[in-house]
Amino acid sequence: MNEAKNHFFGELFRLADAGHKERAIDLIFEEFGDRQCRGEFGVCDQMLRRAYEEAARLPPALLVAFLTITLAARRSFPARLDLLMETKRIIIAESGEFAARQVLAGLE
């Protein structure tokens, strides 16, 4: 399982570094959608924890994608709150508090 998670993040970083934001967002949605359908909530939470730990390496749009795909089952993901707070911090630093409120509205 760790190999699959490492592959996912390796591919995600590659796409992000190459500027392929839309493809990276698709990758997040595919991976998390599939895992949630299979009931792999623990794995998803571990991946959210890794996204939180690696947040500085990812564009804010990708962090928001993680938050969006996990919104419906947010109570199943303890690490999601840390990612939400870190995403908010990053957006405030880059674009201001108003932008953070706008972008994260409804994702709490």
CA distance linking residue 27 with residue 100, whole number of Å: 24
Give the rounded percent of residues in the chain with a pLDDT score beyond 70: 99
Full-model pTM? 0.95
Average pLDDT over the chain, rounded to an integer:
96
As a whole number of Å, the end-to-end CA separation of the chain is 28
68-101 per-position pLDDT tens digit: 999 999 999 999 999 999 999 999 999 999 999 9
Contacts of 95 (CB under 8 A, 6+ apart): none
Structure tokens at 85: 């707070």
Task: List b or e across 34-52, with b for residues whose CB sees 16 or more CB atoms inside 10 angstroms.
Answer: ebbeeeeeebbbbbbbbbb
Q: Could you tell me how far CA 56 lies from the centroid of its own chain? A: 12
